[in-house]
Structure 1
C-alpha cells in the first residue's frame, strides 16, 4: 500500500510530542513491511528540515504562525500543495488530527481528493464550548465525519470524540500507541547512577513543579540522588527555576532543555527512574519509551493507562502528590529487587500490549478495510 500520514509539526525539540512520535513509529514499521510511506508536516528547528525522519521520507514546509495559539494557527501556504501532491497516489491517508489549520487542510484535501482516510485524535479532541472552537468545528467536524474511522486511545477519549462528532459519525476504533521493544535497556548502568528523570513539555498539565517538590523530599532521604528535567518550555520553566532556588536544589536538580528523539532514548536508558507527574494524560508515549528502555516508571492515577500498568506491575501509580511521588521514587532507588521486577514487567507489557508490531498489525487491517470499503 501507499500510505501518507499527516502530522501538524515535526521539530528538533519534539514540541508536538506524542502525535509526531506515533506517526513516525507507525510509518517506520509500515515501511519495514514493504509499504510505500510518506510523512507530511510543518517543520520548526534551528536547521533546515531533514529529508527523512529515521527511515521515513519527510515532506515539510517551515512553520509559520498565521493565527494565535501554540499549534492551532501554524501553517504554510505551500503545505496545501504538498498535501495535494502527496495524497494523489496514496491508497490510504492517516491524519493525526487536532483542532488546527494543518489538520483542517489535510482533512479537506483528503475529502477533495476522494481518498480513503482515517483520523487519529490522540486525546486532543475534547468538547469545547468557546465561540472560536464552535466556529472552527463548523468546518472541522463535517470533514471528520467523512473518515473511514476515527482512532481513539481510551474509553475516555471515545466518549469525548463521540460527543464532538455526534451520532451517525464514523466508527470509533481503539488503537493503542506502540513502541519498539528493546530488551535489556541498561539495567546495570541505571543501578550505578541514581538519576531521576522528567522528560516532557514544561506545560502546566505536565506538572514539572510537582517533580521539583518531589525532588526536594527525595533529596532529604537520599542525598546522593540527582534529578534532571528535559523538555521544551511552555510556560513553566520560570516556576521550575524558582522552586529549585527556594529549596536550595542548585546542582541537585538541573534543566537540560529539549531533546531530539535519539537523545531522549539515551536519557531514558541513563535514568534510574522516570517520573511523569502529569494529570489527565491519555496515553503518554514517554512512559512507553521509558518502559521499552528498561527504566522504572512512576506516574499518576489519572494517566489513561495507569490501571493497565498497575495491574501488570509495570509501573508505580500514585495520586500525583509530591509526597506519594517521592515515596515511589525512594522505594525504587532503595530496592534493587523491586527495580528489577518493574523493569521485567515493563518489558513484558511493551511486548504483549504495546508493541509497535502488534499495533501495526491492527493498523494494516484498518487500512485494508478502508481501501476495500465502498463508502
Structure 2
C-alpha cells in the first residue's frame, strides 16, 4: 500500500514528489546493529577508479570487523570481475555503461539496474556512506538517501575541490544541493575541509577530518637503497598526475643511470608519453595497470616512490609507500607535503620541475645516511599520524 506525498529535505535544499510506502522498512524492524551501505562509482579489477575504490574497500573491511553489517555497492564494467574473496562484508557490483561518452571519465557511468539496486539497498540500511564526486552514481545514491531519510555521509576524497572549471560549474548545480543535505562530510585533511567550506559555504552539517586507511601488512622496515635501485610512479595516467614530469626526470637520468624508472597505472590520457619513453629509454619500464591487491608487492620492490601530481589531496599509494618505510618525492602542492617535510620522510620539490625530481632522487640514492633517515621518518610519520587504531576510532565515531 502506498500514498502520494511531498518530501522536502531537512535542509530545504531538495523538494521532490515521491510514492511513500506504508510498510515499514527493514531498519524499523531490526535495530540490533547499524547497517552501512558503502557506495562508490566503479569497482574495477585493474584499479581504474583509483583511491576512492580502495578506500571504500578498506573502510568496509574495518567497519565489518568492528561489528557493523556492511554492504559495498558500485558499478562494474560488463566483462569485469572485481570481486575480492574472503571479505567480511557483502559486495554488490552491478553492470554499468557510459551513457555520454563525450563527457569523459566516470561521470556518466550508470544503468537502470544499478538505480533499482541502490533504491533497494538504501531502504535496508541505517547509514549511507558515499564516495562523492560529480558523477551520476554517487549523486543518485545521495538523492535516494535523502528521500528515504537515511543518515548520509559524504566523502569527496578531494574530487570536488581539485578541479574547478566550466564543466564542474554546471555539474555543481546538482552536486551542491545534494552535498548540503549530508549529515556528515568527511575531509581528508584540514586543508580539504577549508576548501570544501569555500566551495559550499551554505553547508551547515558536521565536518570530520581523517585520512584514508593504511593497508595492513607486516613489511614495514628501515630500508637501504638497492645496488640497482628503482624509482616508482603508480597512478592513473591522467594529466593531473603529471607523469610527464617523471618521464622527463628519466630522460635526465639517461646518462648517469642512477635508477630504473618504472611507471604503473591505467591510461587516463597520458599513456602515449609513457609508452614513447619505454621504447626510447633503456632505464624506463611501463608495467601497465596493476590490480589493487598487487600494488603493495610492487611498492615493496621499489627504493623511492615518486608522486608528481598537482594538488594531490591525499595519495593512497603514497601513504602505502610511507608505511613500508620507502622514502618519497612529492610536489609541494600535495596535501601531505608539509607532513612529509616535518617528519623527514622524503623530499618535497617544486611542482612540474623534473630537474628537482632528478636532484632529489640523486640525493636519496647517493647519500645512504640521508636515505635511511627518510626511511625512519616515513615509518615514524605513519606511527604517529596514521596508527592502527586511528581508523577504528574514526569509524566508530562516524557510524555510531
TM-score where L is the length of structure 1: 0.89
Equivalent positions of 1:1-375 (< 5 A) are 1-44=34-77, 46-50=79-83, 54-67=87-100, 68-126=103-161, 128=164, 130=166, 133-180=168-215, 182-185=217-220, 191-221=226-256, 223=257, 225-244=259-278, 248-249=280-281, 251-320=282-351, 321-355=353-387, 357-368=389-400
SS at match of 1:4: strand
- Mean alpha-carbon deviation: is it higher for 251-260 or for 165-174? 165-174
Deviation at 1:20, TM superposition (A): 0.9
1:75/1:207 CA distance change after superposition, 3 Å: same
1:129/1:279 CA distance change after superposition, 3 Å: closer
- Mean alpha-carbon deviation: is it higher for 354-363 or for 55-64? 354-363
Cα RMSD for the two superposed structures: 2.2
Q: How many residues align?
A: 363
For 1:332 and 1:28, locate their aligned partners in 2 and report how far apart those are by CA, in whole Å: 36
SS at match of 2:39: strand
Contact 2:230 2:262 in 1 (8 A): yes
Deviation per CA, 1:46-102: give whole Å up to 9, x if none: 543426584432111123001222110011211122222222232211111001100
For 2:156 and 2:86, locate their aligned partners in 1 and report how far apart those are by CA, in whole Å: 21
Unaligned stretches of 5+ residues in structure 1: 369-375
Deviation at 1:36, TM superposition (A): 1.3
Contact 1:96 1:122 in 2 (8 A): yes
Contact 2:265 2:288 in 1 (8 A): yes
Contact 1:218 1:329 in 2 (8 A): no
SS at match of 2:345: coil
What is the match of residue 372 of structure 1?
none
1:244/1:144 CA distance change after superposition, 3 Å: same
For 1:129 and 1:238, locate their aligned partners in 2 and report how far apart those are by CA, in whole Å: 25
Deviation per CA, 1:154-199: give whole Å up to 9, x if none: 3442233223323253222222222035454476696244111111
Q: Which has the higher contact order (CA 8 A, sep 6+)?
A: 1
For 1:362 and 1:342, locate their aligned partners in 2 and report how far apart those are by CA, in whole Å: 28
- Mean alpha-carbon deviation: is it higher for 235-244 or for 259-268? 235-244
1:300/1:188 CA distance change after superposition, 3 Å: closer
SS at match of 1:191: coil
- Mean alpha-carbon deviation: is it higher for 71-80 or for 164-173? 164-173
For 2:337 and 2:252, locate their aligned partners in 1 and report how far apart those are by CA, in whole Å: 23
1:190/1:113 CA distance change after superposition, 3 Å: farther
Higher Rg: 2
Q: Per residue, is there more helix in 1 or in 2?
A: 1
